[in-house]
Amino acid sequence: MAQRVGIALGSNIGNRLRNLQHARDLLRQLVPEDTAYAQAPIYQSEPVDCPDDSPDFFNTVLEIDYIGTPYELLEHTQGIEFHCGRSIVHQYNAPRIIDLDILYFGNEIIKETVLNIPHLEITNRRFVLQPLTDIRPQLILPGDTATISEHLHYLDSDEPALSMVQSDW
């Protein structure tokens, strides 16, 4: 049975828009053409917890119907990152061509070293909450009581406001 899955996409090296489009197209190949699909606008954000002088990110969120396990999806997302040119980085949060993070996977709750669902930082990051609010404002994550839009409204963060780059991409 298909699960509704949210995936955050980010890029801050090279042609950021093209990187996001390429990753999106590869993610869409994971699901049948007739399944529900949503994509948020792309926003530009300043790097958070990244090395000094890191370029700004383009960020967005996709929601797809996925048939398989969270671990299979993790393998797919890591494969897409590699296919898009992401190399192994030894510096924490170093600039990258593409970054894909599974935000939620239906009603699953997983807390492990290699996979945390819902994503541990989902409600603390404006660059995730804003695009997710655009497509799923009333979403309540497993184990939570507030909607995504409420989390965004009450976000206590030093992150500056995001600027929309493109709504239709």
- CATH code where residue 134 lies: 3.30.70.560
- Catalytic (active site) residue 49: no
Exposed/middle/buried for residue 92 (C-beta within 10 Å: 0-12, 13-18, 19+): exposed
Q: Report the number of distinct structural domains present in the chain.
A: 1
pLDDT digits (tens, 9 = 90+) for 92-124: 666 789 999 999 999 999 999 899 999 999 999
Neighbours of 18 (CB within 10 A): 13
Q: Is 96 a catalytic site residue?
A: yes
| This prediction's pTM | 0.92
Confidence grade of residue 153 (pLDDT, cut at 50, 70, 90): very high
Domain carrying residue 114: 3-166
pLDDT digits (tens, 9 = 90+) for 11-21: 999 999 999 99
Could you say which of 86, 125, 126, 136 is catalytic? 86
E strand intervals along the chain: 3-11, 37-39, 42-45, 57-66, 99-105, 110-111, 116-117, 163-166
Residue whose pair of structure tokens reads 């296919």 in the numeric block: 83
The yes-or-no answer on residue 18 being catalytic is: no
The structure tokens 């994550």 sit at 141
DSSP 114: S
The pLDDT value given to residue 66: 94
Given the residues 16, 96, 125, 136, select the one marked as catalytic: 96
| Candidates 16, 24, 99, 125; catalytic one | 99
Please report the sign of the dihedral spanned by the C-alpha atoms of residue 165, residue 89, residue 87, residue 28.
negative
